[in-house]
């Protein structure tokens, strides 16, 4: 039985499972080359069908990550905002009318779109609540037989935080927090207050910048903006900081009085902005730990699954790892809305059809892959010089290039699902060089100086580098680096002494493990610097994408499977 899962607004994506096992999953942006692509994922769907070797007529069910008719609560919130100010009301109504007319009502046409584009099919179409799709994306692919499930983001239909419990092939909803109380909307509003762009996914920047500041304004945020209570939930005070006004870079007088005017886009960042980021990050973490404590009380479980955009906050996740009462936790690599395509498919299989769980997501490599012949055909057409080497010759050469200071574009196997490069479409460099962060951020990636870079390491050496037993194949936690390694790998250690690791398994990705191991033989360091293979664009997908990035960028070498390109000028 084939089940297709769909995400069709921002970060649109498709996933396909066969008899409860994931076959393919990919974001539409990787094909369109438009970041956070919003719209029906035609090309992602086609890839999934092609990967399985089927047509739409063989798909039995389609799961969609949204129930477009759940609008009452949002309408009531918009009406309430009229009593708080004309601007606040207008921002909600303008956005709401656009969403209902262009996005939500359009969802009812998705079954027809599928049949018109891909051909006749007798599939059954299921609209699934957004946060339950998130919960399914976390629990049903986790290694846990039972677990607490916490999903948190900006908002789904009306829910912003969902407390659930998963047992075998069932998820039971325990508690909801609804608009306007949203951790995701709080953090997005702060993102725009600091002059970034929430629609571009710039929340990453706030998290990175926070490490450089001091939480001088934490009391203000904690007492006036994002408050917790004894009932295990929280309140977001939109009279002081409003997500919908922040979309237009408009902010209430109450926050301007406390923090000063919001940063203008393009204005130099200074310590004041660092401190705002640090304060917001600290209060987000505290609130998250408060909620994690609540779900522990509700479930009594030892294991925790998380999903939703807030689950990408890896600094927060590090504190959950160290400080929460749970023994283990799981966040899959596409915890945001793109991952709801996976969740929607598994929700149909497990929750609606009652089928047993047989699949655990232990890697992220669910996108397109390309053969050596396909890579060579693209290289031949590009006019680039290259050499083809078998792995036993190639991997030591690549490791030597990295050890000698080169930045290498590494294109290997099937592409990652989710926003993190995990050794399939990565830039690799030497973590021992203190100047490598500046080289990559400013000369290659063309992005802000403070953006952190991450280590990919042999999983056998996790305790050596971090001093704790922690397996993270998806780069979803930030934890402290051991004193021994802080000075040995400065390019991937944040200013506060932490790093966001990927533990690489020889069984899961043997070629990537192999190049790191060759680097270890040369240097004694069992990790490389890893950042995504892209420059102001979605992560590269095809050989042609990689070649295009190589031609217009400034890095030293590129590996397309077994084909090595060195820059000659």
8 A C-beta contact, residue 27 and residue 12: yes
Q: So what's the pLDDT on residue 266?
A: 85
Please answer whether residues 146 and 364 qualify as being in contact, where contact means their C-beta atoms are separated by less than 8 angstroms. no
Residue 152 confidence (pLDDT) above 50:
yes
Whether residue 85 has pLDDT greater than 70: no
**Tokens 């930045």 appear where?**
407
> Binning pLDDT at 50, 70 and 90, where does residue 98 land?
very low
Q: Which residue has the tokens 């069984």?
A: 507
CA 490 – CA 486 distance, rounded (Å): 6
pLDDT at 102 over 60: no
Report the DSSP pairing between strands 146-152 and 303-307.
Answer: parallel
Q: What pLDDT does 42 receive?
A: 98
The confidence score (pLDDT) of residue 101 equals 44
Q: What is the mean pLDDT of residues 185-213?
A: 96
pLDDT tens for residues 477-530? 999 999 999 999 999 999 999 999 999 999 999 999 999 999 999 999 999 999
Percent of the chain with pLDDT over 70: 94
Which residue matches tokens 């660092």? 274
DSSP SS3 for 161: strand
Q: What is the pLDDT of residue 470?
A: 87
Residue 568, classified by CB atoms within 10 Å of its CB into exposed (0-12), middle (13-18) or buried (19+), is: exposed
Mean pLDDT of 108-115: 97
Q: How far apart are CA 508 and CA 373, in angstroms?
A: 23
- pLDDT computed for residue 265 by the predictor: 87
Q: What is the pTM of this model?
A: 0.94
Enter the DSSP assignment of 339.
G
pLDDT tens-digit series, residues 209-220: 999 999 999 999
pLDDT tens string 547-556: 999 999 999 9
CA dihedral of 143, 146, 151, 157, whole degrees rounded to 10: 110
Q: Tell me, what's the pLDDT at 52?
A: 98
pLDDT in tens, 245-281: 999 999 999 999 999 999 998 899 999 999 999 999 9
pLDDT band at 230 (very low <50, low <70, confident <90, very high): confident
Helix pair 72-81, 86-98: axis angle to 10 deg: 150
Domains of the chain: 2-68+108-141+332-352 (3.30.420.40), 183-330 (3.30.420.40), 372-566 (3.90.870.20)
Structure tokens at 75: 């309408």
Residue 95's SS3 state is helix
What pLDDT digit, counting tens, does each position of 349-359 carry? 999 999 999 99
Answer whether residue 539 shows pLDDT above 70. Answer: yes
**Is 14:23 a contact under the CB 8 Å cutoff?**
no
Which of 59-73, 143-157, 310-324 is predicted with the least confidence, judged by mean pLDDT? 59-73
- State both tokens at 143: 């290694």
The average pLDDT across 159-175 equals 98
Tokens of 254: 């109450």
Longest pairwise C-alpha distance within the chain: 70
The answer, yes or no, to whether residue 339 has pLDDT greater than 80, is: yes
What is the DSSP code string of 222-272? IIIIEEE-TTS-EEE-TTTS-HHHHTTT---HHHHHHH-SPPPTTPPP-HH
Residue with tokens 């309408």, as numbered in its chain: 75
Whether residue 456 has pLDDT greater than 90: yes
Closest CA to 339 of 175, 188, 142: 142
Whole-angstrom distance, CA of residue 320 vs CA of residue 318: 5
Q: Pick the range with the lowest mean pLDDT from 77-91, 311-325, 381-395.
A: 77-91
**How many beta carbons lie within 10 A of that of residue 51, not counting itself?**
18
Computed from CA positions of residues 27, 32, 38, 42, in that sequence, does the dihedral angle turn out positive or negative?
negative
pLDDT of residue 104: 83
Inform me whether the pLDDT recorded for 77 exceeds 60. Answer: no
pLDDT of res. 93: 45
């Amino acid at each position: 039985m084939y089940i297709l899962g769909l995400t069709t607004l921002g970060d649109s994506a498709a996933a396909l499972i066969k008899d409860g096992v994931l076959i393919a999953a990919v974001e539409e942006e990787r094909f369109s080359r438009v970041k956070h692509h919003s719209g029906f994922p035609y090309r992602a769907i086609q890839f999934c069908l092609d990967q399985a070797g089927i047509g739409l007529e063989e798909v039995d069910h389609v799961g969609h990550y949204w129930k477009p008719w759940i609008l009452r609560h949002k309408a009531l919130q918009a009406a309430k905002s009229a009593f708080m100010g004309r601007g606040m009301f207008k921002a909600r109504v303008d956005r709401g009318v656009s969403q209902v007319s262009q996005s939500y009502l359009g969802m009812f046409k998705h079954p027809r779109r599928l049949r018109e584009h891909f051909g006749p099919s007798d599939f059954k179409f299921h609209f699934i609540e957004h946060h339950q799709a998130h919960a399914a994306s976390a629990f049903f692919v986790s290694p846990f037989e039972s677990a607490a499930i916490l999903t948190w983001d900006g908002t789904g239909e009306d829910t912003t935080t969902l407390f659930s419990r998963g047992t075998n092939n069932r998820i039971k909803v325990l508690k909801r927090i609804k608009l306007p109380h949203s951790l995701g909307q709080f953090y997005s509003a702060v993102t725009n207050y600091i002059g970034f762009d929430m629609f571009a996914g710039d929340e990453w920047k706030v998290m990175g910048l926070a490490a450089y500041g001091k939480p001088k304004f934490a009391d203000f945020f904690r007492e006036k903006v994002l408050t917790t209570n004894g009932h295990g939930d929280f309140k977001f005070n939109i009279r002081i900081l409003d997500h919908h006004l922040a979309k237009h870079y408009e902010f209430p007088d109450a926050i301007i009085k406390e923090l000063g005017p919001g940063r203008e886009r393009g204005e130099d960042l200074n310590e004041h902005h660092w401190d705002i980021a640090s304060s917001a990050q600290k209060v987000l973490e505290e609130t998250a730990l408060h909620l994690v404590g609540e779900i522990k009380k509700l479930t009594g479980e030892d294991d925790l699954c998380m999903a939703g955009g807030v689950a990408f906050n890896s600094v927060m996740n590090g504190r959950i790892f160290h400080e929460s009462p749970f023994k283990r936790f799981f966040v899959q690599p596409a915890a945001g809305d793109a991952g709801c395509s996976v969740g929607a498919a598994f929700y149909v299989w497990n929750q609606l059809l009652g089928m047993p769980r047989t699949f655990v997501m232990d890697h992220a490599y669910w996108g397109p892959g390309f053969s050596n012949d396909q890579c060579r055909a693209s290289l031949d057409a590009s006019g680039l010089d290259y050499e083809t080497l078998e792995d036993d010759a190639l991997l030591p050469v690549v490791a030597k290039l990295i050890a000698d200071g080169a930045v290498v574009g590494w294109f290997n196997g099937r592409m990652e699902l989710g926003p993190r490069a995990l050794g399939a479409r990565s830039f690799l460099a030497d973590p021992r060089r203190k100047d490598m962060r500046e080289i990559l951020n400013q000369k290659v990636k063309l992005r802000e100086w403070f953006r952190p870079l991450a280590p990919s390491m042999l999983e056998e050496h996790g305790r050596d580098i971090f001093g704790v037993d922690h397996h993270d194949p998806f780069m979803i936690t930030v934890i402290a680096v051991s004193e021994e390694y802080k000075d040995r790998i400065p390019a991937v250690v944040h200013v506060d002494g932490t790093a966001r690791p990927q533990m690489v398994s020889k069984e899961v990705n043997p070629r990537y493990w192999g190049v790191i191991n060759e680097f270890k033989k040369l240097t004694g360091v069992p990790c490389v610097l890893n950042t995504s293979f892209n420059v102001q664009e979605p992560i590269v997908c095809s050989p042609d994408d990689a070649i295009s990035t190589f031609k217009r960028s400034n890095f030293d070498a590129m590996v397309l499977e077994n084909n090595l390109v060195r820059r000659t000028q």
